[in-house]
Structure formats: C-alpha cells, structure tokens
Structure 1
Amino acid sequence: MLYVDKFRPKALEQFKLHGNVADNLRKLVVNGDCPHTLFYGPPGAGKKTLILALLREIYGPGVEKLKVECKPWKIELPSSKVELEFTTVSSAYHVEMNPSDVGNRDRYVVQEIIKEMAKSRPIGADGQRGFKVLVLNEVDRLSKEAQHSLRRTMEKYSAACRLVLCGNNVSKVIEPVRSRCLCIRVAAPTQQQVVEQLQAVAAHERLTLPPGLATRLAEASERNLRRALLSLEACKVQHYPFEEQQQVAAPDWEMYIKEIATDVLAEQTPKRLYQARGKLYELLTNCIPAEVVLRRLAVELMRRTDDQLRHTTAEHAAFYEHRLQEGQKAIFHLEAFLAHFMSSYKQYLISCGQ
C-alpha cells in the first residue's frame, strides 16, 4: 500500500495539520447541524481526506464499504435524448462523483442525475442522519449553467440530501452557490509541517531519513503533502539507505514540460511549434490537466528569460488560462500561448541584436 493511503487519517480527531477545522466539523456533527459545505484549497492539502473523515463521523464505518459503478444514463429532453456514462463511487450513505468529467454536458448531470440521487434516502437512516450526502469533486471546473442548476438543486432537495463540494479555487464558484454553503478553507501545510510528516512516516516505517533529504523533498513538493509522500516512496525505491545528497526525482510530465520550454527557447519557427504541439498532445492524453500544463510551462519560461519578458509572459499566461476555462479544446489555447511567447521572444532577440 502506498504511504499516501497507509497513513491517511481516518477520523477527525487524528488530524494534526488542520486541528481547528477538524474540531469545528466535529462540533457541527455533534450538534446535529450538517449544512451544505464547500471545501476549497490547493492540491495535496487534505480536502478529500477531511471529507471522508467527516462522513465517517456522521455515519460511522459503513461509509468505507464503497462500490464503484460506471453507469449509463439516458436523459430525456424536450427536443432530444442525451446519453451519458460516467463513474461514481458510492456507499449506502453517500455518492461521490465528478460532474466535470462529461465536459460541456455537466449541466445535465446536475439537473437530472443529482436530482434522481437526491430523492433516495440512505438505507436505515432516521432522525438527524436521515439524509444522503452527495460529494461533488472539482466543482470549480463546472460550467456556469451547471452551477446555476446546482443552486436550484440545493434548495429543492435540502431535506433529503446534503451536498459536499470540493474544489481548488473558490473564486470560480458562483456567489449563489457559495452563499448556500459553509465554506471551509483547507490550507496547504507549511514546509516545516511537511518535513515533520515525512520524518514521522519514515520513523513509522523504520527508515532513516536524513534532514537534508527531507528538506529537499518538502521544497520539491511545493507544500503538497501527497506529492511529498509519493516522492519519499520513489526515493526509497530508487536508493536505500538514503543519502544526504540524494537527488529527488521529478515526475516525468514535469521533465517533459521542461523539454518543451527548452525547445521553444532554442528555436522560434513554425516547425518547432508543430513539434511542441505533438508534445502538448502527449501530456493531455496522459491526463495531465491543461491548466497545470499551462502554469508549469509559464513558470519554466519565466525562469529562463529576462525581467523584461517575464511580465509579458505572465500576462499572456493569465489571458490564455482564462480562455482555457471558457473554451472546450485545450490544445488550441496551449498552442496559442506558445505561439504568442515565441513571437514576443523572437522580437526581443531581434531588438537585442542577437
């Protein structure tokens, strides 16, 4: 079992990084008050772990008996019929899904499928626990139409179900949805806390982790605890006993993005842009989110350019990230960002006489 799963807290009282948040959630459950909630924070901060611990606090260990279903849905519309198929993870008390997986059809998931699930009460539920919990992941990636539908669903079926929303960026959730939820910010752990967690995991596994390596693992993880634990396990497989100066291996997709940045800076031609397009396709087909690719690519390019170009690069990255959220074909916006950067960089080199 991976360290990420093996050392995941199961109950709210086991949380050390988010002690105040866990205590407040426990008080809500004890008082019988469980409103719609919105958990938001950076990746690897512990949002999903907190949600699972909250469900266990409400319903007990029964929520851990999970069933994974890939179910087809046929939705009848006034003028057409829509057929969707996506995966849900469910227990007798809750259903977890990711409506954004179906792309621009996410509003049908919210309007019809969630309504259907909200009508059924959990098995053996009574009293204060007589409601079902619907966990919606990546709610910040839902379209505006789906979010407005979600608002109406929250109002209509509030007696039979509670919605637990999870996302990275709360600013991408519309205000009517935020106002109907208890918003809970799950902050990323500090670098020192990541180091302490790595040392605790290593001690439990009877591993000797040098302080220098633990610090570099925490720095490379960028305060993402999940990534830090995965890197620790990768370093153990790579070489054990650990060495003080042992290198922390970067993920393959990050190395691939660095390769794209190197190619773009080396030559600014249509041929090089065409080659970069193929590499961007490779990243997208391996399920690397387009937003992550764009941000990491912008950071790599800004690291290797002068101050004069960094402001322009950041401005272009923000513009195309916004366009990426509004559009459907991610490759168009990623390639447009690279083309814009190559044009600006070429003009800069010409002005400098290189």
Structure 2
Amino acid sequence: MLWVDKYRPKTLDHVMVHTDIAHNLKKLVKEQDCPHLLFYGPSGSGKKTLIMAVLRQMFGSGAEKVKVENRTWKVDAGSRSLDIELTTLSSANHIEISPSDAGFQDRYVVQEVIKEMAKNRPIDTKGKKGFKVLVLNDVDKLSREAQHSLRRTMEKYSAYCRLILCCNSSSRVTEAIRSRCLNVRINAPSEEQILEVLELIGRKEELQLPAGFAARIAEKSNRNLRRAILTFETCRVQQYPFTNKQTIPPMDWEEHISEIASDIMKEQSPKRLFLVRGKIYDLLINCIPPEMVLKRLLHELLRKLDAELKHEVCHWAAYYEHRMRLGQKAIFHIEAFVAKFMSIYKSFLIATFG
C-alpha cells in the first residue's frame, strides 16, 4: 500500500494538518443534522482526507467498506435517450461520484442520476432521521446548466440527502450553490506541517533521516502534502539509506513538460508543433489536469526566455487558459498557445539575429 493511503488519518481526531477545521467539523457532525458542505482548496491540501474522516465520524467504519462500480444510466434527454457511463464509489451510507466526467452531458447526470440516488431514502434508526451522503468531486468543472440543476436537487431532497461538494476553486461554483452550503476553505499546508508529517512517517517506517533531507522534500513539494509523501516514498525506493546529497526526483509529468519546452525552444515549425501536440495529448490522457499542464509549460518556457518577451507570453498564456475554461477540448487551446509562442519566439529570433 502506498504511504499516502497507509498514513491517511482515519478519523477527525487523527488529522494533523487542519486540526482546527477537524475539531469544528467533529462538533458539527455530533449535532446529527449536518448541513450541505463545500470543501475547496488547492490540490494536495487534504480535502479528500477530511471528507473521508467526516464520513467515518458520521457512519463509523461502514463508510470504509466501499465498492467501485462502472454503471450505465439511461437518461431521457428530450427527443433522444442517452447512455451515460460513470464510475461510482459507494457504501451503505454514501455514494461518491464525479459528474464532470460525463463532459457536456454533465447536466443529465445531475438531473437524473443524482435524483435517482437521492430518492433512495435510508431507513430511520433509533428514532433519528437518517440521511444518505452524496460526495460530488470537481464541482467547479460542472457546466452552468449542471450547477443550476444541482441547486434544485439540493433543495428538493435536502430532508434525506446531504451533499458534500469538493473542488479546487470556489469562484467557479455558482453563488446559488455556495449559499446553500457551509463553505470550508482548506489551505495548502505549510512546509513546517509537511515536514512534521514526513518525520512521523519516517519514524513509523523506522527510517534514518539525514539532517535537512525531509525539509528539502517539503520545500520541493510546493505545499502539496500528497506530492511530498509520494516523493518521500520514491526516494526510499530509489536509494536507502538516504544521503545528504541524494537528489529529490521531479514528478514524471514535470520531466515530460520540461522536454516539451526544450522541443519548442529548439525549433518552431508545423512539424515540431505536431510532435509537441502528441506529447501534450499523452499528458492529458494520463489524467494530468490541463490547467496544470499549461501552467507548468509556461513556467518552463519563462525560465528559458529573454526578459522582454516574458510579459507578452504571460498575456497569451492567460488568454488561452481563459478560452480553455470556456471550451470543452483542452488540447486545442494548449496547442494554440504553443503555436502562438512559436510565432512570437521565431519573430524575436529573426529580428535579433536576422
């Protein structure tokens, strides 16, 4: 088992990084009438860990007995019928789903699938009004139509269904949904907090840590706890005992983007653009978020650029990121940014060197 799963806190009492939030959530759950919750914050900050701890606090160890299903729903979409296939994780008390996986059909998922799940009322126990919990991931990636449908579902089935929503950016969630939830902001952990977790894992795994080694991993993690733990385990696999001079390996996808940036700088041509497109597509089909691909690619390109070009390149990166958020196919917009960069850089080289 990966350390990131092995040492994931099981209860709100064991949460190390966001102890104040965990304490308040524990009090909220004890009241037996938990509101809809919206967890938001950067990747690797601990949103999923807190959500699982809340579910365990609500339903006990039964929340961990989950089964993974690939289900196909038949949805009536006006004049035609659609088959929508989605992966769900479910226990006796909760269901976890990512409606945005359905792409432009996400509104039908929200309207029909969630409605069907919410209708299945739990049995009343010991005189208490029972409820099921629906965990919806990546709510910020839902279309406006899907978010409007979600608002109606929240109102209609709130008596016996609670929603726990999870996203990176609350600004892309409609005000109507945010106002119907208790908003829980999960900040990225500090380097000191990450260091504390790494040292705890080191003690439990009985590892000898050289002075400053865990601090270097924490520094390179960019305040992403999941990434720090994965990097720590990678270092353990690559070389143990650890040494002071041991290199902290970058993530594979980061190395891949670094290669793409080098390819772009070496040659600006339609042939090279086609080659780069294939490499970007490899990243996207391996589930690297397109926003992260564009951001990292910009970072790598800026490191190699003259100061006078940086402002213009940042402008076009922001332009294509905005277009990407509005569109459906991320590859088109990332490729358009690469093409624009090639045009700007080639013009600069011609003007400079003739």
TM bucket, shorter chain: over 0.9
Q: Does 1:115 align with 2:115?
A: yes
Query: Equivalent pairs: percent with the same residue?
Result: 58
1:1-354 correspondence to structure 2 within 5 Å: 1-123=1-123, 125=125, 127-128=127-128, 130-353=130-353
TM-score, normalised to structure 1, is 0.97
Rounded Cα–Cα distance in structure 1 between residues aligned with 2:40 and 2:172: 11
Rounded Cα–Cα distance in structure 2 between residues aligned with 1:83 and 1:12: 39
1:283 deviates by 1.5
CA contact (8 A) 1:260 1:279 kept: yes
- Which SS does the other structure have where 1:302 is aligned? helix
Question: What letter is aligned with 2:13?
Answer: E
Cα deviation, 1:114-172, whole Å, max 9, x if unaligned, reads 00100112356465451110000011111111011101111111101010000011111
1:350 deviates by 2.9
CA contact (8 A) 2:258 2:297 kept: yes
Between 1:333-342 and 1:318-327, the stretch displaced more is: 318-327
Cα deviation, 1:67-113, whole Å, max 9, x if unaligned, reads 11111100123311011111100011000001111111010000001
1:198 deviates by 0.8
Rounded Cα–Cα distance in structure 2 between residues aligned with 1:70 and 1:259: 36
What are structure 2's unaligned runs of at least 5 residues? Answer: none
Rounded Cα–Cα distance in structure 2 between residues aligned with 1:308 and 1:146: 43
Between 1:127-136 and 1:222-231, the stretch displaced more is: 127-136
Between 1:117-126 and 1:336-345, the stretch displaced more is: 117-126
TM-score, normalised to structure 2, is 0.97
Cα deviation, 1:276-330, whole Å, max 9, x if unaligned, reads 1111122122222212111111111112212322222222112111211221222
Question: What letter is aligned with 2:271?
Answer: K
Aligned Cα RMSD in Å?
1.4
- Which SS does the other structure have where 1:211 is aligned? coil
Rounded Cα–Cα distance in structure 2 between residues aligned with 1:192 and 1:306: 35
CA contact (8 A) 2:217 2:231 kept: yes
